[in-house]
Amino acid sequence: PLVSMSEMLNKAKAEGYAVGQFNLNNLEFTQAILQAAEEEKSPVILGVSEGAARYMGGFKTIVNIVKSLMEEYNVTVPVAIHLDHGSSLEKCVQAIHAGFTSVMIDGSHHPLEENIAITKRVVEIAHAVGVSVEAELGRIGGQEDDLIVDDAEAAYAIPSECKALVEATGVDCFAPALGSVHGPYKGEPNLGFDHMKEIDSLVGIPLVLHGGTGIPTADIKKAIEFGHAKINVNTESQISSAKAVREVLAEKPDMYDPRKYLGPARDAIKETVKAKMQEFGSSNQA
Ligand code: G3H
Ligand code: ZN
């Protein structure tokens, strides 16, 4: 069923695993992620950035595609459709109106007071209709679609501010930037585990790790131990799907039927997502 994130994340946090947010980019991603979740018997969060929504034909189109595929595949696991890095109250309301079951309001580029104010308004509206909300503090480096944060701007979240934001807003889960990066890492990731531990004990709600691509398994396990119940992955699925397309087209340069190169891409995404579900411990938890 289509559900909000709150129940699945509270269960994950209580039981010591994390639910993956896998971002949608096109129809094949949507198919692959839903099939992976059902085969792994795993709850799943479908992440939709504003850029991906524009590409795929808008929020409503995506909700309709997801609902149709869930029916077609007889999906029984809990599925959330989540606005990733929502840039404004307006975008969050549009996503909710279209049928999204969860939204992120990313006010991390605003001063704290403004971030709190806008997040609070989103929570009031979302909770009135059973939609869950994620907020962010600090600045996650790297690039995802329209969101670009260079090395100098990337900043670790401050624990006291995290506590203030979570208490003032009533969000369901919270993403403190702690050194993770959108897109491939330049060198080894350097996650702020001391801050993480402190923030976890201060806020108590499920934490969210953005930039899940390229983080070593040992760090993933530690992040889960320190309160993370949601891990976002996009680039890794994009890399595996692009690799599959390149391989097929290199082998058969005359190929032109998209089903013959996007089919293998879809298989590759599915394998990537299934492996992540196993790594995060969400397999067989639905
Ligand atoms: O919000 C989406 C994620 O944080 C994805 O990060 O593309 O580095 O896996 P990633
Ligand atoms: Zn992100």
Query: Phi first, then psi: what are they for 11, rounded to 5°?
Result: -65, -45
The interface predicted TM-score of the complex, written ipTM, equals 0.99
* pTM over cut 0.95: yes
- CA–CA separation, 217 and 275 (whole Å): 11
The helix (run of H) or strand (run of E) holding residue 135 is strand 132-137
Task: Read off the pLDDT of residues 34-66 as tens digits, 9 standing for 90 and up.
Answer: 999 999 999 999 999 999 999 999 999 999 999
Task: Please indicate whether residue 180, judged by its CB atom, sits closer than 6 Å to ligand 1.
Answer: no
Q: Residue 5 has what pLDDT?
A: 98
For the chain, give percent helix, strand, coil, nearest 5: 50, 20, 30
Q: Which pLDDT does position 150 carry in this prediction?
A: 84
Predicted pLDDT of residue 192: 95
Rounded to an integer, the average pLDDT of 250-272 is 98
Residue 9 Cα, ligand 2 centroid: separation in angstroms? 17
Cβ-in-10-Å burial (0-12, 13-18, 19+) of 228 comes to buried
The bridge status of strand 228-233 relative to strand 19-23 is parallel
CATH classification (class only), 6-280:
alpha beta
Q: Measuring CA to CA, which residue among 281, 266, 278, 285 is closest to residue 33?
A: 266
CA distance linking residue 81 with residue 5, whole number of Å = 9
pLDDT for position 184: 93
**Is residue 138 helix, strand or coil?**
coil
Say yes or no: CB of residue 25 within 6 Å of ligand 1. no
- For residues 161, 10, 48 and 225, what is the CA-based torsion angle, rounded to 10 degrees? 70
**pLDDT digit string (tens) for 145-201?**
888 888 877 789 999 999 999 999 999 999 999 999 999 998 889 999 999 999 999
- Cβ–ligand 1 distance for 106 under 6 Å, the answer no
What is the rounded CA–CA span in Å between residue 34 and residue 70? 7
Look up tokens 């891990």; give the residue.
231
How many angstroms does the Cα of residue 232 sit away from the middle of ligand 1? 5
Ligand 1 binding pocket mutation candidate from 182, 219, 228, 236 (most atoms within 8 A of CB): 182
Q: What is the pLDDT of residue 145?
A: 84
Q: What is the pLDDT of residue 144?
A: 85
Per-residue model confidence as pLDDT tens digits over 4-27: 999 999 999 999 999 999 999 999
Q: CB count, 10 Å around CB of 264?
A: 17
**Residue type present at position 203:** V
Q: Are 231 and 275 in contact (CB under 8 A)?
A: no
pLDDT at res. 146: 82
Residue 29 to residue 23: CA distance in whole angstroms:
8
Note the pLDDT tens digit of each residue in 106-158: 999 999 999 999 999 999 999 999 999 999 999 998 988 888 888 877 789 99
Pairing label, strands 228-233, 132-137: unpaired
* Residue 66 near residue 46 (C-beta atoms within 8 A): yes
The pLDDT value recorded for residue 152 is 73
Provide the pLDDT for residue 155: 86
Whether the CB of 230 sits within 6 Å of ligand 1: no
